[in-house]
Homo-oligomer: A and B are copies of this chain.
Amino acid sequence: MLTLKAVRALQSADVILYDDLVSDAVLELARREARRICVGKRGHSESCRQDDINSLMVGLAGEGRHVVRLKSGDPSIFGRAGEEIAALAGADITCEVVPGITAASAMAAALGLSLTHRDRAHSVRYVTGHGCTGELPETVDWQGLADPSTTLIVYMGGKTASAMAERLIVSGLDAETPVAAVAGVSRTDEWRWRGTLGDLAGDRLQVPSRQPVIIGIGPAFATATSQRAAGADRSQPDATGALTEAAA
């Protein structure tokens, strides 16, 4: 799901700073001579590590290297890109941001559904499942989030899913609201779960993978299946497929 623009950027890089969610297949698209440095953050103190990444990026670019900071998903959505852009601007280093497919779009495509519907879902909202400390964010307007006509997508919400679902139900969202969860979307080890908001509150979401999970809440997920769609199996040579397709 890499864009052509991202491939071109990878192929022009002297150094690639990548997150640990980036697959080997993507890294192989870079020039053989390019230096590849994993700056993955899982299991470390996040804020400290972010400062290290900023310094490394600024240092290497300052030496005249063409640096690519490679992330999974879209850097503008819960990707800490703002802090990296600010660090580069502070050091007077020019940068360009190449957008990516954010996890919500990848999830919707994998489940074969739309996050909006002109009759049922007028808006879509992305929130994070944890604040700086790893707990449920405290400054959330739960009443506003518990809106049945908005599709709610929770990034990095595996650990706080049950507490969040409880707050949404208390704030008025129906416990029967459909929920889908996906980890490792579009990867070979992709994992899916399907249930209701009540199931989520009852702690029935158990993510086996170490991949971060993305959770979708709302009527948009009523048609989600817990199985991979038959259409996803491109090995069937005689399947008549009509693809819904996207191009920016």
- Chain A positions near chain B (C-beta within 8 angstroms): 1-7, 9-10, 13, 22, 26, 57-58, 60-61, 64-85, 88, 93-106, 108-110, 112-118, 122-128, 131-132, 137, 139-141, 143-144, 147, 149-150, 186, 220, 229-232, 234, 239-248
Cβ-defined partner of A95 (8 Å) among B1, B22, B112: B112
Q: Are A125 and B122 touching (Cβ within 8 A)? A: no
- Specify which of A72, A76, A82, A247 lies most central, judged by the most chain B CB atoms within 10 Å of its CB: A247
Copies of this chain present in the complex amount to: 2
CB closest residue in chain B, given A23: B247
Q: Are A123 and B122 touching (Cβ within 8 A)? A: no
Q: Are B243 and A97 touching (Cβ within 8 A)? A: yes
Cβ-defined partner of A248 (8 Å) among B106, B241, B243: B106
6 nearest CB pairs, A to B: A100-B246, A82-B114, A76-B108, A1-B248, A101-B248, A144-B144
Q: A74-B105, A115-B76, A139-B122 are in contact. Are A246 and B99 (CB under 8 A)?
A: yes
Question: Could you name 18 residue pairs across A and B whose Cβ atoms are closer than 8 Å?
Answer: A1-B4, A2-B247, A9-B245, A70-B245, A72-B248, A74-B246, A76-B105, A96-B229, A96-B231, A96-B241, A97-B108, A98-B245, A100-B245, A102-B248, A122-B140, A123-B126, A139-B149, A144-B144
Q: Are B88 and A99 touching (Cβ within 8 A)? A: no
State in angstroms the CA–CA spacing of A103 and B96 once bound together. 17
State in angstroms the CA–CA spacing of A116 and B231 once bound together. 34
Cβ-defined partner of A22 (8 Å) among B60, B108, B247: B247
Cβ-defined partner of A114 (8 Å) among B2, B75, B116, B243: B75
Contacts of A66 in B (CB 8 A): 240-243
Q: Are B95 and A231 touching (Cβ within 8 A)? A: yes
Q: Are B9 and A243 touching (Cβ within 8 A)? A: yes
